[in-house]
Chain A
Amino acid sequence: MVVLSASDPLRPVHPLHAILLAFPLPLFLGALVSDLAYRATFHVQWANFSAWLITGGLLVGAFAVLWALINLFRSHSGHRKRPAVYFIVLLVMWVLSFINALVHAKDAWATMPEGLYLSATTVLLALVAAWIGYAGFRTGEVE
């Protein structure tokens, strides 16, 4: 049996996991900036950019959510707090982004202002998830 200690060093996540986790933050941030540009200019192409950026973040982000879920199951009891928080933040981010994608499927100005608020919220959640994820996990927190 492995002796687990909170002072175990943090290990970086698997490279593939890291690549998947690299998508949501910049894509959702791009969507937020596009939403702001649309609000400022009424140029509908910005709304189109947002819709595609959100879709991209959702597609790749789904695999990051899946990875986090598997991580959670493989963590040892008593060491699940960080993996659980990581998973929940990613999941909430993904669900809100999905709603955001539906909002961005509305026509023209009908995306406003809900789309902008959702974009901002998902950027924040993607930031938190990336922070937790890239900080790494301790031995007991992941297999």
Chain B
Amino acid sequence: MMRSLLLIGAAAVALSAWDAQADPAQHGPDPDLPEPQRGLLPTMKIPRPAGWGDERPIVPQGYRIEAIATDLMIPRQTLVLPNGDILVAEGSGGGAPALRPKDIIANFIKALGKSPVKGGNRLTLLRDADGDGTYEAQGVFADNLNAPYGLAFANDAIYVANQDALVRFDYADGQTQASGPPELVTELPSAINHHWTKALTASPDGRFLYVGIGSNSNITERGMDAEVDRAVVWQVDAETGRHKRFATGLRNPTALAIQPGTDQLWAVVNERDEIGPDLVPDYLTSVQEGGFYGWPYSYWGQNVDPRAQPQDPAKVEAAIRPDYGLGSHVAALGLAFSSPVMGAEFAEGVFVGEHGSWNRSDPSGYKVIFVPFQDGKPAGEPVDFVTGFLTADGDNTRGRPVGVTVDPRGALIVADDLANTVWRVSVDRPQPAAALEPDGSQSLQ
């Protein structure tokens, strides 16, 4: 009896040690890519929803976090307007028909980790008139939208990427309600809509809008025909609504942002599932015009995915390696460039909201990270910025981060589509001079 217990113990230790070793380094430009593997069942763990109680997400020292809006209807992305008002896109799209018995079971399992609330199909406006960090006014800016997700402000207008169309609301400073139904800019690919979210950002001059359109499947299991104009970033002429494919092969580009200074387009992209807990890393990348990023034929450059048939060796050859790995299955859904208002340590880089994994026994993501940049490029390991969503045992999660937006007043706005909350992480107080090292860099203390 004792001996078998010891054996089990030793096996458990060996297994956990193996686990620790097996966790590959997947952050940065050159992530470890293990061999693809898939048992009879994909590895799954869905942390079940739990309430926050008295707890709050954890932020670095010198920062504070407050819920500025609660009881929303599936908040996804946010937009800070010129007067400081915050718009929140609330909605839940998709509803692609189940094609196989698997889809019915998988949809049921994944729903266990989501909020039961119905998507609001609306934009909520939050206002903090006196600048004290409390958003005392909250109202509906527009409703009757169709799963709005991406938001952008340009040309004195608010652009909204619904799951089936890009629309525009004219906007005058201080407006709290849209003056009417929106104007159609262009329709967006929406047949099936397996990955329904439409990411959005505007070029600095307002001439172009960039729309991220996700693939219609994990890895072409709905057929190649369903993937026409999917897994792409469109460049839409704001004036005429005409579009062209700006970049392709991006499986699910869930958030887009323009880098200040360089005007370069960046994206976070969710990569494919079901070939192992450590494949394929989701990524952050600058998006090159005309670039092809691999999906479905290959991942991380030239790593062929034989599940996509017929293969296309020429496409594999042309596939661009993304700039920066974020780790497998983290489900990056938010992207925002930082600025010095966020404090010295977080002044240059991007914030990334990670909704969290399902296709892993050890959950990944479920936090907001900061990827530091140097000379305009990602440099170094990511830093946790907002954590504490997942409980210590990983069995429950109190929230799931989606969109992140930098408020020029010195805060990061985080939408949480499980807790139906918008969080605001602000710099607690000006950094005292004593906290600075003699060379001017910030002390770690």
Most buried by B among A43, A47, A105: A105
A109 and B306 contact, CB distance less than 8 A: yes
A55 and B101 contact, CB distance less than 8 A: yes
B223 and A109 contact, CB distance less than 8 A: no
Tell me which residues across on chain A come within 8 A of B218, comparing CB atoms. Answer: 107
Residues of B in contact (CB 8 Å), total 21
Most buried by B among A42, A51, A106: A106
Bound Cα distance A28, B71 (Å)? 50
Interface residues of B in 166-225 (CB under 8 A from A): 217-224
Tell me which residues across on chain A come within 8 A of B306, comparing CB atoms. Answer: 109-110
A43 and B223 contact, CB distance less than 8 A: yes
Q: B38, B101, B102, B219: which contacts A108 (Cβ < 8 A)?
A: B219
Nearest CB in chain B to that of A45: its residue: B223
Q: B101, B274, B310: which contacts A42 (Cβ < 8 A)?
A: B310
Q: A43, A45, A102: which contacts B40 (Cβ < 8 A)?
A: A102
B117 on the A face (CB < 8 A): no
Most buried by B among A101, A104, A110: A110
A36 on the B face (CB < 8 A): no
B41 on the A face (CB < 8 A): yes
Contact-residue bracket for chain A? 20 to 34
A101-B101 contact, Cβ under 8 Å, with A107-B274, A108-B309: yes
A33 on the B face (CB < 8 A): no
Q: A44, A52, A101, A102: which contacts B221 (Cβ < 8 A)?
A: A44
A108 and B308 contact, CB distance less than 8 A: yes
Nearest CB in chain A to that of B222: its residue: A44
B118 on the A face (CB < 8 A): no
Bound Cα distance A106, B274 (Å)? 8
A44 and B40 contact, CB distance less than 8 A: no
Tell me which residues across on chain A come within 8 A of B101, comparing CB atoms. Answer: 51-52, 55, 101, 105
Interface residues of A in 23-55 (CB under 8 A from B): 42-45, 47-48, 51-52, 55
A107 and B99 contact, CB distance less than 8 A: no
A105-B220 contact, Cβ under 8 Å, with A42-B309, A42-B310, A110-B274: no
Q: A55, A104, A109: which contacts B308 (Cβ < 8 A)?
A: A109
Known: A110-B38, A110-B307. 7 other contacts (CB 8 A): A42-B224, A51-B100, A103-B40, A105-B102, A108-B219, A108-B308, A110-B306
23 A-B residue pairs with CB within 8 Å: A42-B310, A44-B220, A44-B221, A44-B224, A51-B100, A51-B102, A99-B40, A101-B101, A102-B41, A104-B100, A105-B101, A106-B38, A106-B274, A107-B220, A107-B221, A107-B307, A108-B219, A108-B309, A109-B307, A109-B308, A110-B274, A110-B306, A110-B307
